[in-house]
Structure 1
Amino acid sequence: MNHEHQQVFASMMAGHGITEMHGLDLMRQIKMLSHLYGMLISSHMRDAQLSGSRWRLLLHLHMAEQMEQASLSPTELSRMQHVTKNTISSLLRSLEEQGLIERTLDPKDRRQFKIRLTDEGRELIRKSTPEHVVYLNQLARDLTPDEVTQLGELLHKLRVSLTRHGDLPDTYCQEKSNP
């Protein structure tokens, strides 16, 4: 929203007795940052043909392997990614087509699948993760360590506020290791 639009909108809201716009302003900034982050990550990961969500899914599978869990179910992955089962199915299908993951029947429940990395997926995540972390650090390098800490604390406080005032369960968006 440009400045003129903001003034017109503020005038409309003032007609309803609403003069504070901090919630709207904050959510607009977050949405713009989210969009910008998505564009930057897509561009950065283009060579590997990975989106940020595909990379995170591969990273979750790799971390599970590091913790002696050879595979995860689609349900576990959808919870970790904070996405629907339909979204996780689409992500899994594309990663499987790329040869980065494989599905196997769960030996304990033959109606369920388990997902694991292929050698190619494992190598891609091993190779791309350090470079990706360096890139993420570069994106935030204009912030001091204290500012990063302060921003993290404020974002946590906002997440708690959104959950509480949005009538969501406290467990809806718990902090997880989610690069």
Structure 2
Amino acid sequence: MTSTLTNQSQSDTHRAAFDRLLSEMGVTETHGLELLRLIKMCNGAYDTILGEQMRQSSISSPQWRLLSRLLMAEQSGESTLTPTELARSQCLSKNTISAHLRHLEEHGLIERTIDPGDLRAFRIQLSEDGRRLMHESLPVHIHFLNRLSDSLTAAEIEQSEILLGKLHYSLLQWTENNAKVKSA
């Protein structure tokens, strides 16, 4: 705990110095920067914690998320997804998706089939082993993720979900509008 307090104290000192610098430059409103900083810090902490949690497993955290996405698709009536759909849903490059899918296929957790509508493309689905792994690990993993936010009240969790959802929607709208401007 001392290390955490020391890191927080150093972070506060650095933040104050940075705020002074920005103020000298005439920048007084930094909410966009602060939101980005906090989200990145939370993301980094989650990635570190989940990486440690997944070390006992034969798959990485991003690979587990791919299996989760395939399970969700399956449960909603989509038995297969394309690598491009998976890449978009996970915000990963096509090269990264290819490497993850290769690993999952080598471990027998997914199956790759030719897309009957486009013989150049593949469709990805969970294998029986992948489905079994997800049914066994999903409840344990969700419980673990829930424990990571134990310091928040139910109302704080709900408010965080609402605010982050609104921010995400705002970012998607900005991206879409920016793409329209560039193509015009």
Write the distance in 2 (CA, Å) between the matches of 1:61 and 1:52.
14
Aligned position for 2:143: 134
On the 8 A contact 1:101/1:116 being kept in 2, the answer is yes
Structure 2 stretches lacking a partner, 5+ long: 1-9, 180-184
State which of 77, 80, 91 in structure 2 corresponds to 1:71.
80
Q: CA deviation at 1:36?
A: 0.5
The 3 A distance-change label for structure 1 pair 9 and 126 is same
Equivalent in the alignment of 2:103: 94
Q: Could you tell me which residue of structure 1 aligns to residue 175 of structure 2?
A: 168
Partner SS for 1:18: coil
CA gap of 1:113–1:139, structure 2 versus 1, over 3 A, is same
Matched, 1:114 2:132: no
Identity %: 44
TM-score normalised over the length of structure 1: 0.82
Match of 1:48, SS? coil
Aligned to 1:176: none
CA distance in 2, matches of 1:86, 1:54: 14
How large is the Cα RMSD of the aligned pairs? Answer: 2.2
Q: How many residues align?
A: 169
Task: Return the offset for 1:119.
Answer: 1.9
SS, match of residue 20 in structure 1: coil
Q: Distance in 2 between matches of 1:20 and 1:103?
A: 50
Using CA pairs under 8 Å that are at least 6 residues apart, name the structure with larger relative contact order, 1 or 2: 1
Distance 2:123 2:165 in 1: 32
1:153 aligns with 2:162: yes
Give the match for residue 29 of structure 1. Answer: 38
* Contact 1:42 1:50 survives alignment (8 Å): no
Q: Which residue of 1 aligns with 2:134?
A: 125
Measure the CA separation in 1 of the matches of 2:105 and 2:114: 15
How many Å separate the matches in 1 of 2:94 and 2:150? 35
Q: Deviations over 1:4-57 (max 9, x none)?
A: 433332232222211233332222121111000011111112222222221121
Q: How far apart, CA to CA, are the structure 2 residues paired with 1:127 and 1:78?
A: 25
> Normalized per residue, which structure has more helix?
2
Report the Cα offset of residue 161 of structure 1: 4.0
Cα distance in 2 for partners of 1:105, 1:24 equals: 45
- Note closer, same or farther for the CA distance 1:163–1:112 as it changes in structure 2 (3 Å cut): closer
Q: For structure 1, which runs of at least 5 residues remain unmatched after alignment?
A: 173-179
Q: Does 2:62 align with 1:53?
A: yes
